[in-house]
């Protein structure tokens, strides 16, 4: 096999890490601001990839956890003066705590009904945020004390994104990852082969709710403001899913590729032409479903530039083979 042509993932990670560290010092405020948005979406995409890409559950409710986190963090910060980084941690925990009972109920539904149930529940959460205006400020929203320097926020978000990437790489090379893929491929067969599907699904659902909730809280800090349509924005859900699908569902690098491409589209269109932006994301999803359901990364695998998924198992199997012969 031609090893020279392969992208050396460790090298790429190193270069990206260094670039991420120095960016705030050499980039403009605009660059930092753009990067924060990109990284927040990257974290959302990696979280969605766990439940949607690996376990195969179409999750149309992730932005619900994003919104819960945004409100928990903002309220703590606004009323109690909890510092934003600490508020983000609590927001993440709140996301997990909400996800446990919700997952227990909603994951009784298989694939498509889980999708419509979560889709509806997210709208309900938005309605609650609007309706309980004595707590949330309703439609007026909450204005936070602006952060003077966005760089610390940038570093926190970048660190979380790095952790998500690492965890996904670990998952991709673990038996847990294979078990999730088995649920995606054929849940009933997986169940009757002794894979504890219910436990794994709920676990994945909860795990994939934590980071989005924390990101919601940080997003509020980044904007200095939160209201129900921002916190539970359907376009965040749409963009996240489009990123994972376009990049490659159930892969390590897919969300990264998708996030970079769509963040640029977002930056070009969202501010001035929101309708055109949303419609084009819809078109991108449609085209990906029709013509490239495995995403950009699969093209890379075909050309041999990117390592095929789950290299660890291949390597171990090869080593085992060598030991025998």
**Subset of 300-319 contacting other proteins (CB under 8 A):** 310, 313-314, 316-317
Q: What is the 3-state secondary structure (H, E, C) of the chain?
A: CCCCCCCCHHHHHHHHHHHHHHHHHHCCHHHHHHHHHHHHHHHHHHHHHHHHHHCCCCCCCHHHHHHHHHHHHHHHHHHHCCCHHHHHHHHHHHHHHHHHHHHHHHCCCCHHHHHHHHHHHHHHHHHHHHHCHHHHCHHHCEECCCCCCCHHHHHHHHHHHHHHHHHHHHHHCCHHHHHHHHHHHCHHHHHHCCCCHHHHHHHHHHHHHHHHHHHHHHHHHHHCEECHHHHCCHHHHHHHHHHHHHHCCCCCCHHHHHHHHHHHHHHHHCCCCHHHHHHHHHHHHHHHHHHCCCHHHHHHHHHCCCCCCCHHHHHHHHHHHHHHC
Which range, of 4-12, 66-74, 145-153, 177-185, touches other proteins by CB under 8 A? 177-185
* Residue 170 binds other proteins (CB under 8 A): no
Q: Which of residues 90-109 bind other proteins (CB under 8 A)?
A: 105-106, 108-109
Which range, of 12-20, 143-151, 192-200, 202-210, touches other proteins by CB under 8 A? 192-200
As given in the structure block, the two tokens for residue 137 are: 């400020």
Q: Which of residues 253-272 bind other proteins (CB under 8 A)?
A: none
Specify the residue, 78 or 313, whose C-beta has the smaller distance to other proteins.
313
Specify the residue, 173 or 217, whose C-beta has the smaller distance to other proteins.
173
Overall size of the chain counted in residues? 325
**The one among 14, 100, 146, 185 contacting other proteins by CB under 8 A:** 185
Which range, of 62-70, 195-203, 254-262, 264-272, touches other proteins by CB under 8 A? 195-203
Specify the residue, 15 or 286, whose C-beta has the smaller distance to other proteins.
286
Specify the residue, 24 or 52, whose C-beta has the smaller distance to other proteins.
52
Q: Which of residues 38-57 bind other proteins (CB under 8 A)?
A: 52, 56
Q: Which of residues 124-143 bind other proteins (CB under 8 A)?
A: 124, 127-128, 130-132
Question: C-beta of 110: minimal distance to other proteins in Å?
Answer: 5
Specify the residue, 24 or 61, whose C-beta has the smaller distance to other proteins.
61
* Residue 192 binds other proteins (CB under 8 A): yes
Specify the residue, 128 or 143, whose C-beta has the smaller distance to other proteins.
128
**The one among 83, 196, 224, 304 contacting other proteins by CB under 8 A:** 196
As given in the structure block, the two tokens for residue 200 are: 């794994």
Question: C-beta of 146: minimal distance to other proteins in Å?
Answer: 29
């Amino acid at each position: 096999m031609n090893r020279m042509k392969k992208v050396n993932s460790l090298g790429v990670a190193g270069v990206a890490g260094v670039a991420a560290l120095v960016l705030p010092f050499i980039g403009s405020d605009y660059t930092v601001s753009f990067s924060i948005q990109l990284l927040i979406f990257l974290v959302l995409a990696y979280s969605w990839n766990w439940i949607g890409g690996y376990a195969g559950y179409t999750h149309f409710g992730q932005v619900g956890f994003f919104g819960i986190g945004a409100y928990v963090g903002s309220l703590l910060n606004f009323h109690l003066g909890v510092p934003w980084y600490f508020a983000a941690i609590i927001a993440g925990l709140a996301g997990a705590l909400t996800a446990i009972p919700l997952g227990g109920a909603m994951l009784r539904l298989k694939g498509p009904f889980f999708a419509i149930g979560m889709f509806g529940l997210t709208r309900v959460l938005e309605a609650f945020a609007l309706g309980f205006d004595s707590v949330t400020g309703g439609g007026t929203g909450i204005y936070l004390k602006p952060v003077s320097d966005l760089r610390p926020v940038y570093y926190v978000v970048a660190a979380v994104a790095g952790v998500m990437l690492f965890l996904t790489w670990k998952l991709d090379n673990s038996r847990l990852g294979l078990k999730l893929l088995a649920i995606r491929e054929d849940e009933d067969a997986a169940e009757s082969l002794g894979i504890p599907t219910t436990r794994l699904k709920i676990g994945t659902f909860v795990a994939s709710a934590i980071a989005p909730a924390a990101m919601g809280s940080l997003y509020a800090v980044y904007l200095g403001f939160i209201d129900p349509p921002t916190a539970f924005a359907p376009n965040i859900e749409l963009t996240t899913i489009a990123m994972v699908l376009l990049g490659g569902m159930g892969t390590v690098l897919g969300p990264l590729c998708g996030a970079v491409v769509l963040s640029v589209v977002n930056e070009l269109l969202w501010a001035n032409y929101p309708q055109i932006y949303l419609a084009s994301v819809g078109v991108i999803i449609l085209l990906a479903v029709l013509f490239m359901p495995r995403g950009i990364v699969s093209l890379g695998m075909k050309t041999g530039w990117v390592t095929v998924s789950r290299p660890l198992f291949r390597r171990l199997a090869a080593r085992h083979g060598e030991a025998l012969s």
